[in-house]
Structure 1
Amino acid sequence: MYHLIIVDDEVEIRDGLAAFAWETLGIVPEGKFAHGLDALQYVSAHPVDIVLTDIRMPFMDGVELMEQLRRRHPYVQVVVLSGYNDFDYAKKALQNGAADYLLKPTSFAALADTFRRLTAKLDAGKQEEQRKAALERKGYLLAKLLRDEFLQRLFAAELDADEFETGCAEGELLLEAGAGPYAALTLELDRLTLAKAPVSDKELRLFAFALDNILTDLWDGGGAGYHVVDKHTAVCRLLALRPDDAERAAEAVKEQLARFMGLFRSTVSVGIGFPVEQATGLHKSAAAADRLLAGRAEGDALLAAGPTEAPGDRAPGRAPHEAPEQAASPAPRKENALLAAAKRYIEANYHRSLTLKEAAQALYVTPGHLSALFRETGESYLQYVTGVRMGKAMELLTDLRYKIYDIVELVGYSDPSYFTEVFKKHTGLTPAEFRNRSPQ
């Protein structure tokens, strides 16, 4: 029997496909998933032979899922079932090794024919290749496990020469104890470490998997260094091989993570520790990165320790937001600077619930004072927040990769009906009408 999973963001289609008589074809349906990232997480932990997937889905679409499967699990067969009769999508699917490309709606008879051909192909001579791929995968997973364990120890405490050499060899890391400089970075989801918002174990596992997957591609794959993700907290540790380039590389990671804002529902903060000449001293750099994050405000982008500072110090000018009211007199120019800081805070956090009280607390002023500053410009705090959200919503609506219900969450709303009312009041059109009138 072959193991199948179904990936489609429409629950009716997932349920309908799952109800098909797969057993008559020698196939067992193992799971149903709403997007590619969730499916990829499952494939990484369970035996799967065939993936039946849609193309357009949130967080990770079908094309990206196929690319990831081809690189990480090449023995998995993929069949695409999509409602988009677009040659470009079919071409990309076939380039990424899709076994077949079916268009919705399709009959169960056509579905059965496709999977009979696929299972016959698997029966004919793929067993040896699958066994080889499975052995290679076991080797990769063991090396990753050893690498993660070694990196955790390296960031936590100083290792002696033997421990360091053994850890690098077992984890397949190209590091030399004295060939620095190196630096440690800590990346955290603010939702988990600042707001202390409760999440389920399943969510936490998915967050950690998503972060690990992204960092493998962008950080390790891009040659920036190595990383490890704590599966219990989703806190990420990054080892930078080129400390001078760490900020640029971290910014690239943050930009990529923005694609998953609807999944994480959180801003991301990164602390960059000071460089160390010895790799065995990375625990000091990691501790400095942690201290920077401990004093941050939610939504801070990058907090970097200076290259020449002592381990316990914070770099001048790179600390989290200081209180403008404590640092300056209430002259008009300083109030304008405070208003600019408030707008930056809103633009960094518009994607979630954001009250006047919270923004005022982040800037160390009273809600009344912050409200007055906005009203002096001719619009209220709420009007400014709504304007930012609507501007972003209009931008996202021109991108067909995002469905309207995804955009609702991405711009900070939980009720689609309320979002539609606000959007229509702001633009004169419903979101659907705006999308239909926008050039694609």
Structure 2
Amino acid sequence: MYQMLIVDDEKEIREGLTAFEWAPLLIEVCGVCTHGLEALQFLESSPSQVDVVLTDIRMPFMDGLQLLETLHRQYPYIKVVLLSGFGEFDYAQRALQLGAADYVLKPTSFPALRNSFTRLVQALDQERHSEENRQALMHKARSLSRRLREEHLARLFREPLSLEEIEIGSNEGEMLIGEGPYFTILFRLDRMALHGNKMEEKECQLVMFAFDNILSDVWEGEGRGYHWVGRSQAMLYLLTSDENPAELAQAVKEQLYRFMGLFKSTLSVGIGGKVDRIEQLYLSTQSAWELLHHEKEADRMAICSTPVCLPAAPLVPSSESRDRNLSRKRENMLLQQAKQYIEQHFGRCITLKEVAGELYITPGHLGALFRQSGETFMQVLTRLRMIEAMRLLQDPRYKVYEIVERVGYSDPSYFTELFKKQTGLTPQEFRGNRYERT
């Protein structure tokens, strides 16, 4: 059933409209108001979402057109049908221009009312179906983003990566990694590591799933950093930039111990050495691993007190040397084709590998072309998304979560952080400043 609010200053009309048989049209009257201001107050305090407002045009305090304009800004998802007298045709035309779904002439004919709302409910059904499809697509997008994040974190903790690989992986996984220094905190499930107690596959999957969800709440949910669960090793990897990782590790360990009855094991902790650059994180992981490897007692915490460092040479050879024989003309053509593809598809999850595949070249080759132009692939992609987001934020019809989806992200929190990093403002602040200027 769709919820409808009736707004009219004439008691007889309110009562007549309320008495109409709305149920066969899948509509339920959830409230009645005498003018626009009262309607806005009702909407603000209503515990349930109102889908339709049926309102008169001529009313005291705030008329139907003023109410329509306000609803268009504050509640763009609400459909508005106006009641219009025979002498108010200009008002009705203006209402349609402002986005009214329909208007019904007064005195109201029940057949006309039924026809109007039959069409309206069909439109609402179509929107609901579209919303269900959108939600399904967003679920797929979130699942893809989560998988890309897990794959990127697995590599980040254990392998030497170039800054470009880290930038691309972080954006694909919708991660914002702050300034260093960085530490790896490693949790070991002593039950398996020390005592050799093997868990059945089903039990192991359940325990690792529980760890993943708990850490999503107590670690990432608190903004402490990112985590990855090494399911095959029964190890938990945590990334932090906090200068006191031991204190954080102890707090998390205490929270995990609340679920000891589930995983039936003590936990030992290894805190890797401090690294200054994110591409050195695997060295912090290695030092944490070595500490736990030599720690043979259960329920212990070992801390590496010596910072680890890396030679200044790049970790991954640059692909630029492979591209030196490309002609300048071909390079420019490929780069323009890549940018054109990004402009056409930035509204969904898009990767360097995908774009390179469209051009029949390697991701390393395409990455080198972008770097030579002065912008990386991710910088171009993020810039285009932010420009579109700023444009959409100027239109009050779009909610922030809708804009997040339209510019290719699945996590509103990540989008907000990225938007603020790019513009210095949150999306809400940007939208508010725009209204203040106008």
| TM-score with structure 1 setting the length | 0.40
Q: In terms of Rg, which structure is larger?
A: 2
Structure with the larger RCO, 1 or 2 (CA within 8 Å, 6+ apart): 2
| TM-score with structure 2 setting the length | 0.40
